[in-house]
Amino acid sequence: MTTQSLDALSVFVTVAREGNFTRAAAHLGVSPSAVSQTMRGLEERLGVRLLTRTTRSVTRTEAGEKLLREIAPLLDEIDAHLSAVADLRDRPAGIVRITADEYAARYVLWPRLLALLDKYPEITVELVTDYGLTDIAAERCDAGVRLGGILAADMVAVPIVKQVRMVTVASPKYLARYSVPATPNDLTSHRCINLRLPTHGGLYAWEFERNGEESRVRVDGPLIMNSVIQILDACLAGVGLAQIPDGLAQPHLDSGELQEVLTDWSEPFPGYYLYYPSRRQQTAAFRVVLDALRDGAPL
The CA distance from 285 to 170, in Å, is: 42
Question: Of 171, 168, 100, whose CA–CA distance to 139 is shortest?
Answer: 100
- List for the chain the helix, strand, coil content (%; round to 5): 45, 25, 30
Q: Spell out the per-residue pLDDT of the chain, length 299, in tens.
A: 566 678 888 888 888 888 888 888 887 788 888 888 888 888 888 888 888 887 677 888 888 888 888 888 887 777 777 666 665 555 788 889 898 988 888 888 998 898 888 888 889 999 888 766 666 766 678 888 888 756 566 678 888 888 889 999 999 999 999 999 999 999 999 999 999 876 566 788 899 999 888 899 999 999 999 889 999 999 999 999 999 999 999 999 999 999 999 999 998 888 888 888 776 667 888 888 998 888 655 54
Return the pLDDT at 76.
74
Q: Which residues pair with 206 in a beta bridge?
A: 217
End-to-end alpha carbon distance in the chain: 47
Those residues whose C-beta lies under 8 Å from the C-beta of residue 49, and which sit 6 or more positions away, are 43, 61, 63, 64
Those residues whose C-beta lies under 8 Å from the C-beta of residue 72, and which sit 6 or more positions away, are 13, 16, 17
